[in-house]
Amino acid sequence: MPKGVLWRQHDIFMAAMGGRVVGTWKPMMNYEQIEKGAIDGSGLPVLVLPPLMHGGAQWGAFHLFRDGNALVMPEDTRRMDPADVWRTLERERAVTISVIGDAMVRPLLDELERDKYDTESLAAIANGGAPLTPGVRRNLLARFPHLIVADTVGSSETGAQMNLATNQAESATIFNPGPGAVVLDAERQHVLKPGHDGTGWLGQAGWMPLGYLGDAERTAQTFPMVDGVRFAVPGDRARHLSDGRIELFGRDSLSINSGGEKIFVEEVEAAIAAHSAVADVIVVGRPSERWGQEVCALIELVPGAIVTKGEIVDFSARTIARYKLPKSVRFVGHVQRSPSGKGDYRWAKEVATSGPD
């Protein structure tokens, strides 16, 4: 079922759909200001790839409208055809491509190896909804050395929370928070001050939803009152650094508790995805008599690539602690993802727990 997050129009406009300027977070003060921005906008064309049911596309589209820019969509809107995307960018001279993680960027880069396109207009990649792993970032910046990669953190329950625009190949895990973005303690009783040693929950105050439609219990869990302030706490783990930035670890519901240690699947996925033979990967936990849970990696290989499971584990050990390494590696024909590019972790758990390795 859809989550059914219930927003008032004003709140969602201010939190996610153009009520604040991306980067500065400065709010629009009146309708006249919004009208002037749309009329006097630059008209720059932005190519949006995710389906419009996804916040990264739908909310981004409203930002484009507010700024008087052009929303460009590929001819094929039901699936991502990399050749169609590059032809559209070439024809419309798009300056930015909006994507969701590796699942969209990898095929685009592969297509550039197969054919030639005029990509001179491309200046930025706007990413949200799923991380771009270091390997994909390196390949992207090797192809486009002056490209700016802009990552945005947010959710259906918070709107836009944090962002980072960089020309570096390192994976984006530390972000610049917007107004109202905080880290709450493990019990969701207090706001942690910047520089606190412990990890907590990424929270958001300010403009937020009324709750989940028809689900009072879940609403109370996700939107607690903390020190007299209502927060949205969708379930991401984070740490507030002493310099004011926030380090994001990942969704707690996807974390793996192995031998008493909490392992975030995004970190393991990034380590494995950096291998040149890996086309895509999903990491999940599965039951283990010894560890409680153990890390299992489902890997789709690049066509024609040959690599052993041991080589995958050894490669990953270069960047993550040994207790985070997969105890099980399975090669699959195709990693299953939703139309928006997000990993299908329910499918992955079924595969990880079915039959011997």
The answer to whether the beta carbons of residues 101 and 91 sit under 8 Å apart is: no
The answer to whether the beta carbons of residues 109 and 138 sit under 8 Å apart is: no
65 and 167 fall within a common domain: yes
Please indicate, yes or no, if residue 357 is contained in any of the structural domains: no
Q: How far is residue 349's CA from residue 347's CA, in Å, rounded to a whole number?
A: 6
Tokens of 284: 């999940």
The tokens 């009152």 sit on which residue? Answer: 225
Query: What is the per-residue pLDDT for 357?
Result: 77
243 and 280 fall within a common domain: no
In terms of Cα–Cα distance, which of 167, 175, 145, 146 is closest to 247? 175
The tokens 């990649």 sit on which residue? Answer: 125
154 and 33 fall within a common domain: yes
317 and 347 fall within a common domain: yes
11 and 135 fall within a common domain: yes
Residues 200-235: tens digit of each pLDDT: 999 999 999 999 999 999 999 999 999 999 999 999
Is the sign of the CA dihedral 60, 65, 66, 67 positive or negative? positive
Query: What is the per-residue pLDDT for 268?
Result: 94
172 and 77 fall within a common domain: yes
Query: What is the per-residue pLDDT for 96?
Result: 97
Q: What is the pTM of this model?
A: 0.85
Boundary-marking domain end, from 150, 176, 202: 176
Mean pLDDT in residue range 282-288: 93
CATH number of the CATH domain containing 205? 2.30.38.10
58 and 145 fall within a common domain: yes
Q: Flag whether pLDDT at 86 surpasses 90.
A: yes
Query: What is the per-residue pLDDT for 133?
Result: 84
Task: Give residue 87's pLDDT band: very low, low, confident or very high (50, 70, 90).
Answer: very high
Provide the domain limits for residue 169: 5-176
Mode of pairing for the β-strands spanning 246-251 and 174-177: antiparallel
73 and 185 fall within a common domain: no
Query: What is the per-residue pLDDT for 335?
Result: 94
Give every CB contact of residue 249 below 8 A, 6+ residues apart in sequence: 173, 199, 236, 237, 238, 239, 264, 266, 267
CATH number of the CATH domain containing 160? 3.40.50.980
Query: What is the per-residue pLDDT for 1?
Result: 62
Please indicate, yes or no, if residue 81 is contained in any of the structural domains: yes
87 and 169 fall within a common domain: yes
58 and 159 fall within a common domain: yes
Q: Following DSSP, what letter does each residue of 115-180 receive, concatenated?
A: S----TT--EEEEESSPPPHHHHHHHHHHSTT-EEEEEEEETTTEEEEEEEES--S---EEEE-TT
In the chain, the number of structural domains is: 3
